[in-house]
Amino acid sequence: MYKIYALIYLNCERFKKTAKNVFFLSICLLALILYIKDKIKTIIVEKPLKLDCGQIINNFPLAYETYGSLNEKKDNAILVCHALTGDQFVTGLNPITKKDGWWSYAVGPNKSIDTNKYFIICANVIGGCMGSFGPGHINPETKKIYGTDFPVITINDIVNVQVNLLDHFGIKKLFSVVGGSMGGMQVLQFVSNFPEKTKTAVPIACTSSHSAQNIAFNELGRQAIAADHNWSDGKYSSNNSVPDKGLAVARMAAHITYLSKKGLQEKFGRKLQERDDLKFGFDADFQIESYLRYQGSVFVDRFDANSYLYITRAMDYFDLVKQFNGNLSNAFKNTKAKFFIISFTSDWLYPTQENKDIVIALNAIGADVGFVEIESDKGHDSFLLKVPDFLKALKNFLDKSYLGN
């Protein structure tokens, strides 16, 4: 939504010589601001934060959403960390996209993360495009959209910003911090940075450092965006354009990595798309082609290309092993948090062994850690889907741990 805000702002500048256009665009801008203000909760992070890239930011927005109620003791809070293309709207109806929240299977009344019992907080990561400080915001120094002038961020930076929400709600210690994929990276970084600020931690389908394969997939997506002539070195907003074709291809390529070979074969195989025979052209002959094109087309309506570049770069820079000079165990040596690590049999993006490496590092320091590998043919996306064994395991861990409060 903020990228739309920025486009309208720049159009006002472009058409400022035409009073009628300015009036119309000003009305649109005002309406959009009021809509966003009503739908997106934000806090302003006032204190300066030095990013890993060396730049200092302050007085910037952090968008968030909450579910459930914070109890009197303030000991029932769970910080949910979203993945690459997620946002703060975890469950229920997303007020911006008008679709179900990205984790509606897991979060809600009587679900794995029970909103009748827990107070759930989720922040849109900085660098994102759903209200938090990102490349779609206006640079106060230049009065133009940041674009690729936005500072490069890391998972460490993201976590150091999110912790401000604990202060905002007066929470001294979380009951849990939970997340899958990039969200799991944030869980690991959070516990490492703030070892006394959570009782439990649930990293799901993640890794302690991004592999060469995953960096390669992310680079493929970034280059697809950069190859779109509308990208304009990240300054596309000033041209009133969007690199939608490049972003769609990036999404299509990434989406393949979230699935499994078995799942794809069983769902699509070589089925044709609304035709009886091959058409001997380059339209979508196969259902899988049509499916991927659809995934790409709907993605560009809700996500920003520059945010995609920045967040995938943050994922690629994530390396807890390197942060602690080759010893992953040292990342967690100061915490007493109870860990529950979950992987999936068909996840080839963040395979079980990479999750087990985290377990091994925790065992080496005598940490309280549990681990389960869930049987699923749904690939990396298993944690987002209705996989009963996963949802049951997550619920059992949280509820049993909370009983011990």
Task: Express each pLDDT in 35-57 by its tens digit.
Answer: 656 789 999 999 999 999 999 99
- Which residue in this structure is represented by tokens 């925790």? 362
From 190, 182, 204, select the one nearest 313 (Cα to Cα). Answer: 182
Q: For the domain that residue 239 is a member of, what is the CATH number?
A: 1.10.1740.110
Three-class DSSP labels, 147-177: HHHCCCCCHHHHHHHHCHHHHHHCCCCEEEE
Q: Is there a single domain that holds both residue 169 and residue 278?
A: no
Same domain for 152 and 127: yes
Residues 184 and 244 in one domain: no
Tell me how far apart the alpha carbons of residues 16 and 24 are, in angstroms, rounded to a whole number.
11
In a domain, 193, yes or no: yes
**Last residue within a domain, chosen from 305, 340, 356:** 305
Bridge-based pairing of strands 198-204 and 174-180 is parallel
Q: φ, ψ for residue 128 (rounded to 5)?
A: -80, -170
According to the model, what pLDDT value does residue 196 have? Answer: 97
Residues 115 and 148 reside in one and the same domain: yes
Whether 33 maps to a domain, the answer reads: no
Q: Which domain holds residue 186?
A: 40-214+313-403
Residue 334 in 3-state DSSP? coil
Whether residues 204 and 274 fall in one domain = no
Which of 17-31, 149-163, 216-230, 373-387 is the least confident region? 17-31
pLDDT of 395: 98
CA distances from 278 to 267, 290, 404 (A): 19, 14, 61
Q: What is the pTM of this model?
A: 0.92
Contact 141, 14 (CB under 8 A): no
308 has pLDDT over 50 = yes
In tens, the pLDDT along 166-212 reads: 999 999 999 999 999 999 999 999 999 999 999 999 999 999 999 99
Which band of pLDDT confidence, cut at 50, 70 and 90, is reported for residue 17?
very low
Residues 204 and 292 in one domain: no
Q: What is the mean pLDDT of residues 305-310?
A: 98
Q: What average pLDDT does the structure give for the chain?
A: 92
Instruction: Let me know whether 193 and 253 are in one domain.
Output: no
- Burial classification of residue 49, based on how many CB atoms lie within 10 Å of its CB (0-12 exposed, 13-18 middle, 19 or more buried): middle
pLDDT of residue 23: 58
206 and 338 together in one domain: yes
Residues 205 and 92 in one domain: yes
61 and 156, same domain (yes or no): yes
pLDDT value at 32 more than 70? no
Confirm whether 15 is domain-assigned: no
| 157 has a pLDDT exceeding 80 | yes
**Which pLDDT band, with edges at 50, 70 and 90, does 15 fall under?**
very low
Q: Which active-site residues does the annotation give?
A: 181, 347, 380
91 found inside a domain: yes
23-32, 117-126, 225-234, 253-262: least confidently modelled range: 23-32
Q: pLDDT at residue 2 above 70?
A: no
- For the stretch 97-106, pLDDT in tens is 899 999 999 9
Tell which residue, 121, 107, 119, 74, has the closest CA to residue 405: 74
Sign of the four-CA dihedral 102, 315, 262, 356: negative
What's residue 8's pLDDT?
A: 44
Exposed/middle/buried for 98, CB within 10 Å: 0-12, 13-18, 19+? Answer: exposed
Which of 305, 325, 345 is the last residue in one of the domains?
305
> How many domains in the chain?
2
351 in any annotated domain? yes
- Give the number of other CB atoms < 10 A from CB of residue 161: 22
Inform me whether the pLDDT recorded for 119 exceeds 70: yes
- The verdict on residue 128 lying in a domain is yes
Retrieve residue 171's tokens.
Answer: 């929470």
Q: Where are the beta strands (DSSP E) in 41-154?
A: 41-45, 49-50, 56-57, 60-67, 77-81, 107-108, 113-114, 119-123, 138-139, 144-145
Could you tell me if 94 and 182 lie in one domain?
A: yes
In whole angstroms, give the CA distance from residue 133 to residue 42.
10
Task: For residue 357, tell me if it sits in a domain.
Answer: yes
Does residue 11 sit within a domain? Answer: no
Q: Is the domain of 160 the same as that of 294?
A: no
CATH number, position 141 = 3.40.50.1820
From 305, 332, 357, the end of a domain falls on 305
Q: What pLDDT is stored for residue 28 in this prediction? A: 56
